[in-house]
Amino acid sequence: MTELTPPQAEAQLSEEVEQYAELMLAGYEPNPVRDRKIIQDGLTGSSRFDQWEIAIIDTPIVQRLRHIHQTGLSDTVYPSANATRFAHSLGVCVTAKRFIEALNSQPGKPCLHEDDARHIRAAALLHDCGHGPFSHASEDAYRRMAAMRVLLEHAESQYKHCKPHEILSALIVRSGPMRELLTVALPKLCEGIALDPTRIASIILQLPDTDSRAYVYQVINGPFDADKLDYVSRDSHATGLQMALEIDRLFYTLHVGDNKDPERDQRVILVSTGGVHCLEQILFNKMLLTAALYHHHKVRATECVLRGVFDYVSRNGSRRLCGRRLRSPVDFLYLTDTDVLAHGNHPAKVQRAISRVRRRQLPKRALVVSAETAEPGDPIAYLEFIERMKEPGEQDAVKERVLEAARAQGVECEDPEMGIWVDLPKNVSFSEPSQTYILRENGQVIQLDELFSIENWLDAYKHFFWRGHVFAPAAVRREVGKAARRVLKEEYGVELSELAETLCKHDP
């Protein structure tokens, strides 16, 4: 079968998104709003939203985000971690407004005019509308589907640096029904205010129409943007993980200026040296959140079950989840967390897996793969293995080999398609320092990574915090762990110490 070209893949997804938007917005008409509204949030406090913002917030496409959790099912570990993509989207809009006010408060003419501000705030409200159920758990499943894979991996694709949910969000914004809302319905409702869907989509994707005004796009999608500031603060607040983050001080240090790059004539967001320690706080908190929340083994075990459910349904067109086939990334937009957990119209194996998630009967650690558990004799083999596992399909191949080895030992695992998982998450990444520009007291503009080396942080995380796991049902996890350990040694040259099993706290 001939692989799709990027234009063909985009056209296919656009057509499916068009049908989705038509269904979601059928019969929706913005209600007249006499005045701005105040919305209270536990993190950002009381914030005022304009009439046109309320019209966007009230759309079924945005209201759906009330039922998509910000961090999947992390409340299985942190009971209060139940923030939603809806609350996050409003929070990003509030933070973006503060960004705009901070940049415009600098001496000279305002760099962001009212039209810029409206499009940035609209992008904030709509930037996550492409998320599927349980946020990144479903994103990991549909990023491997044919059309999305072409857009993400093809050398000629304009989307190759974007995230899958951002692509879907942009396609939703550019769809016919949303275009009708933004260009026809809003002007009638809100004193002639009209928004350009193409421009909003470009801000979501950080695809500027001109490099000279890159700062307009960096408010929502930049190295230190409103999205990052909200999710780092919100995830910390929701979990109870205490982290210092001086956002107020950071806003006082923002400027717009030339990046001083002779090869690219760009005006970008600059941070004065007084805000550098605030940027360090954000990076440090991101690393701590990754270790304590995003890579927590219970959170990862839950996500493995969910990814197993999505993959199991999508691999066979006759299977359905909530009565819907999962043949395309767009199919995930019709589902919410509530649908998946509450609906009974699932294949029997899927229903059993979801029931276990609801009851928190999660798979257990069978083996820990880390620098700490790797035998020190041949660190090169371990590092090469970790790099190899980043390639598509490699972790699935290890899973199949572990299943075969476990079966050879007589291990009977219920629902083998979903009962054993190999989970080797990506190491925490810090691309921000090389993309952030610092304005020094002498007027010199430098990159943040010229002030401190982030490599030491990455090395520390890789050697002391990063862990991969093999998960299995509690009854067979000891046997699965031994089988996995043997597979890694014999087939990949990775020898793990006894600690790899000891850390799993197997029952005696």
The phi, psi pair for 17, rounded to 5°, reads -65, -35
Task: Note the helical H segments in 255-393.
Answer: 276-289, 297-314, 337-342, 348-358, 379-388
Last residue of a domain, one of 229, 250, 272: 229
367-387 in b/e burial notation, b at 16+ Cβ within 10 A?
A: bbbbbbbbbeeeeebbeebbe
Position 339 scores a pLDDT of: 93
- 225 and 369 assigned to the same domain: no
Question: Token match 């956002």: residue?
Answer: 247
Asked whether residue 413 is domain-assigned, the answer is: yes
Asked whether residue 451 is domain-assigned, the answer is: no
pLDDT digits (tens, 9 = 90+) for 273-300: 999 999 999 998 999 999 999 999 999 9
**Could you list the residue range(s) of the whole structural domain that residue 479 is in?**
363-427+466-508
Question: Distance between CA 220 and CA 204 in Å, rounded?
Answer: 7
pLDDT surpasses 80 at 211: no
Contacts of 506 (CB under 8 A, 6+ apart): 477, 478, 481
pLDDT surpasses 80 at 378: no
For helices 6-25 and 146-153, the axis angle rounded to 10 degrees is: 120
For helices 114-126 and 197-205, the axis angle rounded to 10 degrees is: 70
384: left (phi over 0), alpha (psi -120 to 50) or beta: alpha
Asked whether residue 263 is domain-assigned, the answer is: no
Asked whether residue 357 is domain-assigned, the answer is: no
Q: CA separation (Å) from 269 to 203, 227, 256, 314, 473?
A: 15, 15, 5, 42, 50
pLDDT surpasses 60 at 1: no
Position 262 scores a pLDDT of: 62
Asked whether residue 388 is domain-assigned, the answer is: yes
Asked whether residue 457 is domain-assigned, the answer is: no
What pTM value is reported for the model? 0.94
pLDDT surpasses 60 at 165: yes
% of the chain exceeding 90 in pLDDT? 66
Asked whether residue 450 is domain-assigned, the answer is: no
Q: Are 96 and 124 in contact (CB under 8 A)?
A: yes
Last residue of a domain, one of 175, 197, 229: 229
Last residue of a domain, one of 192, 209, 229: 229
Q: CA separation (Å) from 301 to 137, 189, 336, 358, 400?
A: 11, 47, 20, 13, 18
Position 209 scores a pLDDT of: 59
pLDDT surpasses 80 at 386: yes
What's the domain count of the chain? 2
Q: What is the CATH number of the domain that holds 203?
A: 1.10.3210.10
Asked whether residue 50 is domain-assigned, the answer is: yes
pLDDT digits (tens, 9 = 90+) for 390-429: 887 889 899 999 989 998 888 877 666 678 899 999 888 8
pLDDT digits (tens, 9 = 90+) for 349-373: 899 999 999 999 999 999 999 999 9
Burial class (CB in 10 A: 0-12, 13-18, 19+), 359: exposed
pLDDT digits (tens, 9 = 90+) for 233-250: 999 999 999 888 899 999
